[in-house]
Each structure stands twice: as C-alpha cells, then as structure tokens.
Amino acid sequence: MSLRSFEHVFQPAASPGAPVLLLLHGTGGNEHDLVPLAPMIVPGAGVLSPRGKVLENGMPRFFRRLSEGVFDLEDLRFRTHELADFIGHAGVEYGVKAERLIAVGFSNGANIAASLLLLRPDAIGGAVLFRAMVPLVPEPRPDIPGTPVLLSNGRLDPLVSERETERLAGLLSECGASVTLAWQPAGHQLTQNDVQQARDWAQRVLEPRPRGI
C-alpha cells in the first residue's frame, strides 16, 4: 500500500491548525468532483480526495454492490481497510493528523465514510455524510466517543428512506459519536442547503480546536 494505490488530489490547508477534508465522491464521480465544495464548507481547509477503485459499468465507486442498496459486504470491508491504509500513508507523507481529517462523502462516498467510522475509526476525526445509509453493522461495535458526525439526508430521497437514515444516526450514536441529523426537503441530489448546513456545523463543531492538534 502506498500513495500510488489511489489516484488522488491533495491540497495543503491554509494554516497548520486547519482541518483537511477527505472528499469521497459518489458513483460515477472522480477525485476532482468535490474539490470545489471544500472551501464552501471549511474555508482554508486542506483537501485529500481519492478516486474510488471499483468500476460499475465504467463508473468509479469505492466498493461493489450487488444491486441498488445491497452491498457486497466482503468487498466493502476490504475496500474500507484499503482506504484507511491509504489515508495513513497520506497522513505521513503530507503531515496530516487523523484527528484533523474530516471525511466529506456523498452517496457511495458517504457510505464508505460511514464504514470508516465503524471499521477504522482511527483513520478520521469526524465526518459529513450526504445521503448516506447503513453500510454494515459491525460486531463488536467501535467506541467513538464524541466523534462529530453530520448526517444530511433528503426526506424525498427515493434511494435512502427516512427510516434508514434514522437507523444510521442511531447506530453511530450507540457507538458514542456526536451525531447531528439534518433533514433536507430534497431527493438524492446535493443542495445548497446541504452545503450551508455543513458549513454552519463545521464552524460550530470543528472550531476552535485546542492548540497542538
């Protein structure tokens, strides 16, 4: 495992104390898709944005699925650990501490970000999950006390039900995460309101941070 294992974009943070956003695209996206989103959510944040390595009909994803909403759990586990290992190497190469790395994922990217929280919580310090669902239910459950998570889903989403959203929020809360659930009057698409609420959340939760972190 090395930095070459994922095509990716890296941009350093504007200041040593600023967070770095781990940008995780949706199905069919790439490492460039969410980069413009970073300064809208956290001005001055750094960026680490990998491209998913799984292809579905030529479209990049972060893990395989068997059908819509049905995940290949073996592949999901493998890809989650693979991504976490890449993040570790990137952290050493670019000087990014895990506690200052905040995942920002959309759809498939949000699902693998949630899987990181559940399987490799050491890899990231928090997450913004746009249109996520429960990726898997690990046993034993991880202990992630106080880990900040914003879960932003649409009430009109045809792919992710309100019940599924609440199930994910409950699972992360049971593991100790500090979960903020934001509902949007929208479907599966990302909206300006998502971005604004993520910005407000980041200002409230990520700043200020103690010196030396």
DSSP string, the chain: --GGGS-EEEE--SSTTS-EEEEE--TT--TTTTGGGHHHHSTT-EEEEEPP-EEETTEEESS-EEETTEE-HHHHHHHHHHHHHHHHHHHHHHT--GGGEEEEEETHHHHHHHHHHHH-GGG-SEEEEES-------SSPP--TT-EEEEEEETT-SSS-HHHHHHHHHHHHHTT-EEEEEEESS-SS--HHHHHHHHHHHHHHTSS--TT-
Q: Is 107 a catalytic residue?
A: yes
Marked catalytic residue, from 49, 107, 115, 152:
107
Task: Report yes or no: 163 and 193 within 8 Å, Cβ to Cβ.
Answer: no
Marked catalytic residue, from 8, 173, 188, 200:
188
Q: Is 161 a catalytic residue?
A: no
Marked catalytic residue, from 25, 33, 152, 157:
157
Catalytic residues: 107, 157, 188
